[in-house]
Chain A
Amino acid sequence: AQSVTQLDSQVPVFEEAPVELRCNYSSSVSVYLFWYVQYPNQGLQLLLKYLSGSTLVKGINGFEAEFNKSQTSFHLRKPSVHISDTAEYFCAVSETGGGNKLTFGTGTQLKVEL
C-alpha cells in the first residue's frame, strides 16, 4: 500500500515570490507521481506527472517538480506565483504496472497575497 504526506496544510506567500509545496510518499513498489490543482468548487486539474526518465518535471502554469527517490519526495515549485495560483494542491501516487488507483495526500492550500 502507498501513502502520501503533504506536510503543510496551508502556505501563504506574497505575489511574485517563489513557493515550494512539499510532498513525501511511502511505497513498497515503484510508483508514478502526480500533482493536481483544485480551484474552489471545481474538480481536479492535472499540473504535472512523473512516470520515468528525467527527475525534473515541468508542468502547466510555470510549475515544476523534482522526483527524489532516495528521499521519497516529489516537491512542487514555482519561481514566481500569481494571485490566480491561489488554490488547493494535491500530491498523488499510483503503482506502476497498471491498476492506476490514485492515493492522495490531504492537500496544501496555497494562498497568494498582494
Chain B
Amino acid sequence: DAGVTQSPTHLIKTRGQQVTLRCSPKSGHDTVSWYQQALGQGPQFIFQYYEEEERQRGNFPDRFSGHQYPNYSSELNVNALLLGDSALYLCASSLVQGAQETQYFGPGTRLLVL
C-alpha cells in the first residue's frame, strides 16, 4: 500500500521565481492538504482540496495556489517567491469518511529561496 508521495524532494529557486510542488495521496484517499513548516516551527495549514475544489484555506496570500486532479493528486504553486517562503512543504492525504478524518503525511519537499 503506497503512502503519500511528494516530488521533488529538494528545490532551490531565486526570489521572484515560481515553483510547483506535486503530491500523490495514499491509495484510496480523496482529500489533500498542504502545510508549510518553517525551520524550528510546527506545520502551518495552507489549504485543502476535495473533489477538485479548494475546501478550506489558511492564512496564506494569493501567491499560494493549488489544484487537484481527477485522480486526486495535487499541486501547490507559489508565485513571486520570497526569501521567507523557504520551508519544508508537506502534503497530507485523508479520506472523507463520516467525521473521522485522519491525515497521513508525505516526506515533504524542502524549498530554498535564494
> Which residue of the partner chain A has the closest CB to B44?
A104
What is the CB-to-nearest-CB distance from B30 to chain A, in angstroms, rounded to a whole number?
12
Distance in angstroms from B107 CB to nearest chain A CB is 4
Chain A interfacial positions (CB closer than 8 Å to B): 4, 32, 34, 36, 42-46, 49, 51, 90, 92, 94, 96-107
Tell me whether A105 and B33 are in contact (CB under 8 A). no
CB distance from A89 to the nearest CB of B (A): 10
Tell me the nearest residue of chain B to A6, going by C-beta: B42
Residues of A within 8 A of B40 (CB): 107
B25 interfacial contact with A, CB 8 Å: no
Rounded to whole angstroms, the CA-CA distance of A45 and B26 in the bound complex is 13
A-B contact pairs, 11 of them (CB 8 A): A44-B105, A46-B103, A90-B43, A92-B42, A99-B55, A101-B56, A102-B33, A102-B35, A102-B92, A106-B42, A107-B42
Residues of A within 8 A of B58 (CB): 101
Q: Contacts A42-B107, A43-B108; is A103 near B45 (CB within 8 Å)?
A: yes
State the interface size on chain B (CB cutoff 8 A). 29
Assuming the contacts A43-B90, A99-B55, A101-B33, asked whether A51 and B45 have C-beta atoms less than 8 A apart, the reply is no
Q: Does residue B66 face the partner (Cβ distance < 8 Å to A)?
A: no
Residues of A within 8 A of B99 (CB): 96-98
Cα separation A94 to B103 with both chains bound (whole Å): 10
- A105 contacts which chain B residues (CB < 8 A)? 42
Give the one of B31, B96, B108 with max A CB within 10 A.
Answer: B108
Q: Please, which residues of chain B bring their CB within 8 A of the CB of A107?
A: 40-42
Per CB-CB distance, the 3 closest pairs between chain A and chain B, nearest first, are A104-B42, A100-B101, A44-B105
> For B101, what are the chain A residues with a Cβ–Cβ distance below 8 Å?
94, 98, 100
